[in-house]
Amino acid sequence: MQVFKFGGASVKDAESVKNVATILKRHENIQKVIVISAMGKTTNALEDVVNLYIKNDEKHLQYLHEIREYHQMVCDDLFGTNNPIQHKIFAIFDRIEHFCSSNNSKSYSFIYDQIIGVGELASTTIVSAYLNLNGIQNIWLDAREMIRTDYAYTDAKILWKETENLVQDKIDFSSTHTFITQGFIGGTPEGFTTTLGREGSDFSAAVFSFCLNADKMVIWKDVEGVMNADPKQFEEAVLIPKISFEEAIEMTYYGAKVIHPKTIRPLQNKSIPLEVRSFIASDKGGTLIDAFEERIEYPPIIVRKANQVLMHFSAKDFSFIAENHMQEIFGAFATSRLRMNMMQNGAINFVAAVDNREEKINETVALLEANFSIKLTSDLDLLTIRHYNEAILNSELSNKTRWLTQQSQETIQVLYRDTY
């Protein structure tokens, strides 16, 4: 059996849903689980709803209605006006409105997770119905009843054993060839919705692949496959046809956005190959990520992370930065769940580059300012190049002022600012 994953761009409107059906017709005889994200930019729009709701702003209802209308429009295009699917969609959105009017919790993360998953519930309902009406018989499953997680709302951790049992229980190919379910969401034992972190649908697909011992996982994207840089930022980006699990882990860890970083490990653990293919040119080969025996020659792989903040710490008691200071600093970063993208320590200074997430930075500063003098430098970018050479470094860093460099044999990271 195989697990397919379709992201937001692949189901953004009626035409796209029809394209998904065309792709699936070509894989009709394979048993599969299809994991689908929210349509287009729905999750971003739902984040706006959450932010308004948290501020007690009644406009959240208007925003939610706009998202519902967008889904209704896709339904009209696919099924004709006044179709029964539309009523299902209304019911899904009504439950969210009901949650908003009856909720007493003040927890942002809890509220976020109860609202945001509606995008995936709606998209899978529409796609499942369209496929059933067009000769691809399938069963819709609620991922919240299979992906069991802890209570870390917005960034929930998978409870692997429970999830494995639930997934194997619910997915029985004697009843159908094709199951459709949601990416990104999971559930607590009490039935509250949790989410696995933004862009988490790739990871959901890997969880299903792991639990079902899939023969292969395929993610369908709006790019040819995995390239040596984001083709939206880098015109000369080239396709990498074969990538080892290790390389895929490294490049996604450093921020290559084409695959969610948590995706590869569960696949590697069970040697499940991952194909990254284009839903636009769906007959092309794409990229195969697998446990290759042979050594692969990679081109320089370039990852850019914009909007970085460099945090500088020095001890207020004028002492050197020692292990006890590091322990305190790391503890604070762990508590506020702020990730260090790059770090370096010297005699009296420790520095760490982080994404510009104001709330998390403020929380970290609040935890450490009693013992440390802290300075922030913003408007920096972080360039990471795997398999670098001098020529690529010079061309990528011309007209840039380097702030911090760190390199190993395979990887160089440079924090820089554009020189105006």
Amino acid occupying residue 275: E
Subset of residues 3 to 32 that bind ligand ASP, contact rule: CB under 6 A: 7-8
Q: Pick from 60, 50, 192: which is nearest to 112 by CA?
A: 50
Residue 299 near residue 237 (C-beta atoms within 8 A): no
* Stretch 148-187 residues interacting with ligand ASP (CB under 6 A): 183-184
In the complex with ligand ADP, the residue whose CB is nearer, 136 or 223, is: 223
Choose from Mg ion, ligand ASP, ligand ADP, none: what does 38 bind? Cβ within 5-8 Å by kind: ligand ASP
Position 223 contacts ligand ADP (CB under 6 A): yes
43 binds, among ligand ADP, Mg ion, ligand ASP, none (CB under 5 to 8 A by kind): ligand ASP
Q: What is the DSSP letter of 1?
A: -
Choose the binding region for ligand ASP from 36-44, 106-114, 279-287, 377-385 (rule: CB under 6 A).
36-44
Q: Which of 258, 310, 315, 352 binds ligand ADP (CB under 6 A)?
A: 258
Of 358, 309, 366, which is closest to residue 332 (Cα–Cα)? 366
Q: Which residues pair with 219 in a beta bridge?
A: 5, 276
Contact between 244 and ligand ASP by CB under 6 A: the answer reads no
Nearest distance, CB of residue 175 and ligand ADP, angstroms? 28
User: Per CB under 6 A, does 37 bind ligand ASP?
Assistant: yes
Alpha carbon distance 399, 244 (integer Å): 34
The span from the CA of 24 to the CA of 285, in Å, is: 16
Q: How far apart are CA 333 and CA 165, in angstroms?
A: 34
Stretch 331-370 residues interacting with ligand ASP (CB under 6 A): none
Which is nearer to ligand ADP, 32 or 325 (by Cβ)? Answer: 32
Is 36 a residue that touches ligand ADP (CB under 6 A)?
A: no
Site string for ligand ASP, 188-207 (x = CB under 6 A): ----------xxxx------
CA dist 304 → 246, 277, 383, 397, 400 (Å): 20, 22, 5, 12, 13
119 contact, one of ligand ADP, Mg ion, ligand ASP, none, CB 5-8 Å limit per kind: ligand ASP
Q: How far is CA 181 from CA 208, 243, 399, in A?
A: 10, 28, 47
Contacting residue, 9, 23, 61, 326, with ligand ADP by CB under 6 A: 9
- Which candidate, 69, 142, 56, 144, places its Cα nearest to that of 100? 56
* Cβ count near 303 (within 10 Å): 23
Task: Give CA 69 to chain center in angstroms.
Answer: 25
Question: What is the contact mask toward Mg ion in residues 194 to 213, using x (rule: CB under 5 A)?
Answer: -----x--------------
Quote the Cα angle for 258-238-197, to 5°.
5
Nearest distance from C-beta of residue 275 to ligand ADP, angstroms? 13
Binding site for ligand ASP (CB under 6 A): 7-8, 37-38, 43, 119, 183-184, 198-201
Residues in contact with ligand ADP by CB under 6 A are: 7-9, 37, 199, 221-223, 226-227, 229-232, 256-258
